[in-house]
Amino acid sequence: MNQDHNVTLYLAPIRGITDALYRNTFVRYFSGFDLAMAPFVSTQQGNRIKPGHLRDLETEKNRALPIIPQILSKDPDHFITLAQALIDQGHKQINWNLGCPYPMVANKKRGSGLLPYPNRIASFLEKIKKLPVDLSIKTRLGRFQADEILQLLPIFNNFPLTELIIHPRTGKQMYKGKVDLKTFGQCLEQSRHPVIYNGDITDEGVFLQLKDRFKKVEGWMIGRAALADPFLPARIKKIPLQRDKRELIRLFHDDIFSRYQKILFGPSHILGRMKGLWFYLSQSFTNSRKILKKIQKTKSLQKYNEIVKQIFSEEEWIR
């Protein structure tokens, strides 16, 4: 089987999970991703930058898997402040988040909440285009309606974007319902920028169908399915496995667990992180619901260790 070098795969940003520690540990055990988009950062009240927010994005911390940092903002001056700090860190590309669907964000006209306002988006881009950095946008199709994006594409086309990453859902859909491939196809035809597809690439079969249908797509971004099944990007690229899957997952788990114990204080923080991880990983084990329930109930590291030991000795990896 030949490896597929023509496919570019991005790890999607999943806030609360795909931080630098996760990304670096991931690539120690699994292959296939070419780069990752980091979860968004934003300024604090009064256009202040919280230094902790930028620490995860330092280029020397992200050598194993190159990253594109992402900013969530509706204020061009705030965007410029943050972008400048990211440029100082050595980043060559910055992404603007126009996709976040959570009402707390969208109601304030941030993320997908900006999509019904083409004029605001145009004037935002006008103000930030002077930044000496490549800009890309990650967007949904709209906040309320899938055709909101059709008003936006001429605006996007007017600015020198490096790429446009499209998750073909509306903000209102959150993560439910189907991806709208028909409207995605229209976007692909109308965009003068390279388009990256993102959303519900759940296995290599789905990927192949999408690749066959949308030949102009220049890259593919995978989030939740890769968190549940970290072997998926390698399968898509036909990279052979060197070791037993369950053994690799165990090594990955133990590694990430011990690293979180070194940087986080107190069992509740550490367990919080591990529970987030298991929300996805459990989906690839037999008795997934039972496993997840047990993990979610855990309050001590000792009990957590016992449960994990039991999972790896009793359950099968099903992917």
Ligand X SMILES: Cc1cc2nc3c(=O)[nH]c(=O)nc-3n(C[C@H](O)[C@H](O)[C@H](O)COP(=O)(O)O)c2cc1C
Q: Which is nearer to ligand X, 138 or 237 (CB)?
A: 138
Q: Shortest Cβ distance from residue 164 to ligand X (Å)? A: 13
Nearest by Cα to 65 from 286, 233, 291: 233
Q: Which of residues 161-180 bind ligand X (CB under 6 A)?
A: 167, 175
Q: Which is nearer to ligand X, 135 or 201 (CB)?
A: 201
Q: Which of residues 42-61 bind ligand X (CB under 6 A)?
A: none
Cα–Cα distance for residue pair 76/260, rounded to 1 Å:
35
- The SS3 of residue 187 is helix
Distances (CA, A) of 316 to 8, 92, 99, 303: 30, 43, 36, 21
Q: Shortest Cβ distance from residue 229 to ligand X (Å)? A: 11
Cα–Cα distance for residue pair 124/91, rounded to 1 Å:
21
- The SS3 of residue 152 is helix
Q: Shortest Cβ distance from residue 314 to ligand X (Å)? A: 28
Cα–Cα distance for residue pair 57/60, rounded to 1 Å:
9
Q: Which is nearer to ligand X, 12 or 256 (CB)?
A: 12
Q: Does the protein bind ligand X through residue 200 (CB under 6 A)? A: yes
Cα–Cα distance for residue pair 168/181, rounded to 1 Å:
7
Q: Shortest Cβ distance from residue 71 to ligand X (Å)? A: 10
Q: Does the protein bind ligand X through residue 201 (CB under 6 A)? A: yes
Select from 77-85, 192-200, 203-211, 260-268 the region that touches ligand X (CB under 6 A): 192-200
Number of residues that bind ligand X (CB under 6 A): 21
Nearest by Cα to 165 from 131, 190, 115, 199: 199
Q: Shortest Cβ distance from residue 205 to ligand X (Å)? A: 15
Distances (CA, A) of 277 to 16, 249, 283: 9, 12, 11
Q: Shortest Cβ distance from residue 287 to ligand X (Å)? A: 23
Residues that bind ligand X (CB under 6 A): 12-16, 39-40, 70, 97, 99, 138, 167, 175, 198-201, 222-225
